[in-house]
């Protein structure tokens, strides 16, 4: 590992000491503000909390157009069920594993802490030849691109933007899917549970999960779908009552864990246990890559909700809704090999206070296809007697394959590595889509080091790729500094 890579990892580790879950970016923004003041770099924040730090050009390169280096301050905060990590207080603990780093049973935060580290390193290295840099770090990207949507006109002046939120080194991203969240709600009628019934908790966990855009085509199991299948296979009649259900944590993550509390006639407990065990065997065969998949069956002695459960016919409708809602890739792109065009993620479900709430997330590179998928979700909700509301909508970023910035990046990459880079669009949301919508004259590209399993505790970063991205950025900025 060279000195520059060590420095990048030092910066990243320092950033990871500061809690920065979505909507809790104040501490990390203040840390960057203090760093900028110490370096005498002008910094300011807009009303949404987005941060801009201006780094002067190398002497003699002031005439070159400013370049925006862009990333987001927040991270997805996910952990394993066994983890005691407190994301509001505890630093992320980084573990080195050969050429990779990951965290201790939590998300690593490389998405998008690595962009923050790269931006800071580019700014603090006085030996680089570079144009004026504008470090644009937005807030609340992970829960709906909120910061980018609220960028104020004129907040920055550069019209060349390098987004550092991509996850495969050597591949330039030039387009992304648009997205939309549809939240489904339904009131639930409750009914009394007979005194002789016993309460049990069924849980499914140990799944890979992952990013609901990048990983949606990988055929990973959805914990909510598996649990709904088990509940849907219970015999009809009055011997089983569904009390509550919960699963998933984030709109943009494939659910890894889900559980349901069930009231069951004493004489049917053994049968219920057998059905759960058989379901686990079935799902293990069906999802061979989900090596840690498990179902648990725990008897509970408490009397929750005053011995109330969801009325049987209401429970059947709720389970049918979860079974019917689409999840996974629905259509592949005709323009890019192995790229998903349209998908839907059954993301979060919970019942509380006689009310069901379901969060789904649709993505597409094509607006009519996005509308059609969201329409399917709303139609299924209507058939279940539920209400559907649309939230957190953002447009696609349409690829511009003749972009001058893309041509420059290709040229510089060939000069650095003697080979052609990859060029692709991705089935995920990037802030480039929002920024390009707000600033139509912006020339943009997205790149980054190789990371895997973002939005899950399995997230990891390939360290050699971080060094390669650094070398490329240094060469690219030197090239751009020659423009007038």
- Across the range 264-285, mean pLDDT stands at 92
pLDDT at 59 over 60: yes
- Would residue 74 show up in a list of annotated catalytic residues for this protein? yes
pLDDT of residue 335: 81
> Is 90 in the same domain as 224?
no
Q: What is the CATH number of the domain that holds 368?
A: 3.30.70.360
Q: Which of 144, 182, 177, 178 is nearest to 375 (CA)?
A: 182
> Is 293 in the same domain as 320?
yes
pLDDT of residue 305: 55
> Is 383 in the same domain as 426?
no
Percent of the chain at pLDDT > 70 equals: 99
3-state SS string for 153-179: CCCCCCCEEEECCCCCCCEEEEEECEE
Q: What is the pLDDT of residues 196-220, one digit of tens each?
A: 899 999 999 999 998 899 899 999 9
> Is 236 in the same domain as 128?
no
pLDDT band at 165 (very low <50, low <70, confident <90, very high): very high
Q: Per the residue annotation, which of 25, 74, 239, 443 is the catalytic one?
A: 74
* Model confidence, pTM: 0.79
Task: State how many domains the chain has.
Answer: 2
> Is 171 in the same domain as 217?
no
Whether 57 contacts 50, CB under 8 Å: no
- Across the range 75-81, mean pLDDT stands at 93
pLDDT of residue 302: 59
CA atoms within 13 A on the CB side of 18: 19
As a whole number, the mean pLDDT across the chain is 94
pLDDT of residue 28: 98
> Is 347 in the same domain as 414?
no
Distance of alpha carbon 23 from alpha carbon 74, whole angstroms:
7
pLDDT at 58 over 70: yes
CA distances, 358 to each of 206, 318, 384, 386 (Å) = 22, 10, 12, 10
Asked which of 362, 394, 426 is the last residue of a domain, the reply is: 394
- Would residue 142 show up in a list of annotated catalytic residues for this protein? no
pLDDT at 176 over 80: yes
> Is 384 in the same domain as 434?
no
Distance of CA 229 to the CA centre of its chain: 25
> Is 326 in the same domain as 370?
yes
Asked which of 359, 374, 394 is the last residue of a domain, the reply is: 394
> Domain containing 444: what range?
3-177+396-480
Q: Per the residue annotation, which of 134, 140, 141, 169 is the catalytic one?
A: 141
Highest-confidence segment of 264-268, 390-394, 444-448: 444-448
Q: Which of 449, 482, 483 is nearest to 464 (CA)?
A: 449
pLDDT of residue 303: 55
> Is 215 in the same domain as 156?
no
pLDDT at 31 over 70: yes
Q: What is the pLDDT of residues 82-135, one digit of tens each?
A: 999 999 999 999 999 999 999 999 999 999 999 999 999 999 999 999 999 999
> Is 191 in the same domain as 244?
yes
Q: What is the pLDDT of residues 294-342, one digit of tens each?
A: 999 888 865 555 788 999 999 999 999 999 999 999 999 988 888 999 9
Q: What is the pLDDT of residues 357-399, one digit of tens each?
A: 999 999 999 999 999 999 999 999 999 999 999 988 889 998 8
pLDDT band at 144 (very low <50, low <70, confident <90, very high): confident
Asked which of 332, 365, 394 is the last residue of a domain, the reply is: 394
pLDDT of residue 46: 96
> Is 432 in the same domain as 318?
no
Whether 58 contacts 126, CB under 8 Å: no
pLDDT at 21 over 80: yes
> Is 171 in the same domain as 211?
no
Q: At what angle do helices 463-480 and 404-417 cross, to 10 degrees?
A: 120
């Amino acid at each position: 590992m060279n000195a520059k890579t060590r420095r990048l990892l030092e910066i990243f580790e320092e950033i990871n000491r500061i809690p920065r879950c979505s909507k809790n970016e104040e501490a990390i923004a203040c840390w960057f503000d203090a760093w900028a003041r110490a370096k005498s770099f002008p910094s300011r924040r807009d009303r949404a909390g987005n941060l801009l730090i201006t780094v002067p050009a190398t002497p003699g390169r002031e005439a070159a157009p400013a370049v925006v280096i862009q990333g987001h301050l927040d991270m997805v905060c996910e952990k394993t069920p066994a983890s005691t990590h407190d994301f509001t207080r505890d630093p992320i603990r980084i573990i080195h594993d050969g050429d990779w780093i990951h965290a201790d049973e939590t998300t690593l935060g490389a998405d998008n802490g690595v962009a923050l580290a790269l931006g800071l390193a580019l700014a603090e290295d006085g030996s680089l030849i570079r144009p004026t840099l504008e470090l644009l770090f937005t807030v609340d990207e992970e829960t709906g691109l909120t910061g980018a949507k609220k960028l104020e006109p004129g907040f920055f002046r550069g019209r060349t933007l390098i987004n550092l939120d991509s996850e495969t080194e050597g591949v330039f991203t030039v387009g992304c899917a648009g997205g939309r969240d549809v939240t489904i709600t339904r009131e639930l009628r409750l009914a009394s549970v007979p005194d002789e019934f016993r309460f049990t908790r069924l849980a499914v966990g140990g799944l890979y999960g992952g990013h609901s855009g990048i990983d949606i085509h990988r055929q990973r199991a959805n914990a909510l779908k598996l649990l709904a299948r088990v509940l849907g296979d219970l015999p009809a009649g009055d011997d089983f009552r569904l009390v509550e259900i919960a699963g998933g944590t984030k709109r943009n993550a494939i659910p890894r864990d889900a559980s349901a509390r069930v009231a069951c006639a004493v004489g049917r407990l053994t049968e219920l246990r057998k059905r759960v065990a058989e379901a686990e065997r079935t799902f293990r065969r069906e999802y061979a890559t989900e090596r840690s998949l498990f179902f648990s069956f725990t008897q509970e002695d408490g009397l929750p909700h005053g011995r109330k459960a969801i009325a049987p016919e209401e429970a059947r409708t709720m389970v049918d809704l979860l079974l019917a809602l689409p999840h996974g890739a629905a259509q592949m792109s005709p323009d890019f090999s192995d790229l998903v065009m349209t998908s839907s993620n059954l993301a979060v479900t919970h019942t509380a206070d006689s009310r069901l709430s379901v969060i789904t997330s649709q993505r597409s590179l094509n607006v009519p296809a996005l509308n059609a998928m969201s329409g399917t979700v709303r139609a299924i909700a209507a058939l279940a007697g539920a209400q559907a509301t649309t939230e957190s909508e953002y447009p696609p970023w349409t690829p511009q394959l003749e972009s001058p910035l893309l041509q420059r990046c290709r040229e510089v990459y060939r000069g650095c590595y003697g080979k052609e880079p990859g060029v692709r669009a991705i089935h995920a949301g990037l802030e480039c889509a929002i920024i390009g919508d707000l600033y139509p004259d912006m020339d943009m590209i997205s790149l980054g080091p190789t990371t895997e399993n973002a939005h899950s505790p399995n997230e990891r970063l390939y360290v050699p790729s971080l060094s390669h991205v650094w070398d490329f950025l240094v060469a690219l900025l030197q090239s751009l500094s020659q423009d007038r």
